Structure 1
Amino acid sequence: MTLLALDTALARCSAAVLKDDGALRAVSAELGRGHAEHLAGMVREAMEQAETDFSDLDRIVVTVGPGSFTGLRVALSVARGFAVVAPVDLVGVTTLAAIAEGAREMAEGHPIAVALPARGGEVYAQVFDEDGAPLGEPAALEAADFAKELAPDTRLAGAAAETIVGFRPDLRIIDRSAAPDIACVARLGLSAPVPDAPPAPLYLKPPDAKPQTRFRIARA
């Protein structure tokens, strides 16, 4: 299987091609914002490095969040567009699962709790077993509430791991990634089930921006 992986859910913008022989060609940059202006060029560069055409692709995998409200829509829109042009499977993986995948070896057989910063003192969080299988659903919740439920042998990963340790100093941080490694996104994409509908953004919290209603004219 030849696979194209895309990620714009957080500060990093990444594209990678994983080929049948296991060779991975990836392009990635810490952008913060401006993913839409850079992703297409990164896809082109990764495919040129991999000597791959769109007609060679069997699958596209894209991160669905949690993450930036606008950022993660960039890769999802591009992935859907590519899937229209090329008849490929389109699958999604979460940023939390991809970070857990990258931390599995360091966890040495322990469960992994992944936590990313959210607004208002909350974290985006989820716990995974030693094989990377989820032990619950991803959620946005108070960091203190998440921390107190973790088993003592849990290993911590993600950019909000330090916040969790503030409530549970007995726990060990093994990874502080603020965004997933695109290689992990690609690996998870190989075995991800093909959904009945195209992958959609995973919004665990509503956006900061709300429609303005102060000057709305009432309808008769």
Structure 2
Amino acid sequence: MKLLAIDCAANLCAACVYDAAAGKELGRSVLDLGKGHAEHLMAVIDAALKASGTDYAGLGAIAVSIGPGSFTGLRVGVSAARGLALALKIPAIGVTTLDALAAEAAMIFPGRVVLAALDAGREEIHATLYDELSVLMYGPAVTTFSQAAAMAADKSPVLAGTAALQIAASAGRAFDIGPTLATADIAVYARLAAAKGAGEKPKPLYLRGADAKPQAGFILSRQEK
């Protein structure tokens, strides 16, 4: 089965085609955008398909990063994945950014506990902890740097994600460090989705509400007639 993976969770707008049977990537396209995923995603997907020598009809599934990540980017990626899956009558499979980052770290440091954590602002982080067999032990959850540092000091994990270095600093000791970006390599999402298989339709993983809130002071009261 050939699988198309999409990632718009962070600064990258990425897509790749992955051969699940052979366990190898066939082609990819990646843009470092920051913003503007909606305007570029379909072109990135087309470029990945062209690089792989595959067309939409040759796909057996769509994988997509579901966050935590950019509020808007996640909606773009998940909407595209679900729309393509519906049109092609194939499954869409969601993979969290924390799962992908932890898997990437486990490839570098096999057989180790991994703490994957993303800086969420407001002195908070989004975190997950995986055992030596990559089985989830904690999270995904919102926690603090001090709580994550205490967890790290207890478990001595490999640290991954944008919060990795700050957790190590908070713990006051050295740790093995995996990828420290906001998202993993696109092929990791494809590999995890192929292993996971079809399930519930993917939806964005928001561990807390959006930063933008309506200003109550500008809400007009309803007038009774």
TM-score (norm 1): 0.94
Contact 1:99 1:179 in 2 (8 A): yes
- Indicate whether 1:213 and 2:200 are aligned: no
Q: Which moved more, 1:162-171 or 1:4-13?
A: 162-171
Higher helix proportion? 2
Query: Which residue is 1:4 aligned to?
Result: 4
Within a 5 Å distance, the mapping from 1:132-211 to structure 2 comes to 132-150=134-152, 151-172=154-175, 173-196=177-200, 198-211=201-214
Contact 2:160 2:179 in 1 (8 A): yes
Within a 5 Å distance, the mapping from 1:1-220 to structure 2 comes to 1-19=1-19, 20-21=21-22, 22-150=24-152, 151-172=154-175, 173-196=177-200, 198-219=201-222, 220=224
Q: Which moved more, 1:44-53 or 1:15-24?
A: 15-24
Q: Counterparts of 1:24 and 1:111 in 2: how far apart (Å)?
A: 30
Change (3 A) 1:171 1:205: farther
Deviations 1:143-168 (A, max 9, x none): 11121023343111111111101111
Q: Counterparts of 1:108 and 1:98 in 2: how far apart (Å)?
A: 14
- 3-state secondary structure, aligned to 1:58: strand
Q: Counterparts of 2:54 and 2:187 in 1: how far apart (Å)?
A: 17
Q: Indicate the RMSD between aligned Cα atoms, in angstroms.
A: 1.5
Contact 1:110 1:155 in 2 (8 A): yes
Change (3 A) 1:82 1:210: same
Aligned-partner residue type, residue 86 of structure 2:
V
Q: Counterparts of 1:152 and 1:72 in 2: how far apart (Å)?
A: 31
Q: Counterparts of 1:79 and 1:175 in 2: how far apart (Å)?
A: 25
Contact 2:104 2:178 in 1 (8 A): no
Q: Counterparts of 2:164 and 2:32 in 1: how far apart (Å)?
A: 20
Q: Which moved more, 1:31-40 or 1:13-22?
A: 13-22
What is the percentage of aligned positions where both structures have the same residue?
38
Stretches (4+) displaced over 6 A: none
Q: Counterparts of 1:134 and 1:171 in 2: how far apart (Å)?
A: 23
Contact 1:58 1:89 in 2 (8 A): yes
Deviations 1:78-130 (A, max 9, x none): 11111121010111010000011111132232101011110201111111123
Contact 2:25 2:187 in 1 (8 A): no
Aligned-partner residue type, residue 155 of structure 1:
V
Contact 2:118 2:161 in 1 (8 A): yes
- 3-state secondary structure, aligned to 1:40: helix
Q: Counterparts of 1:190 and 1:175 in 2: how far apart (Å)?
A: 22
* Residue segments in structure 1 that go unaligned for 5+ positions in a row: none
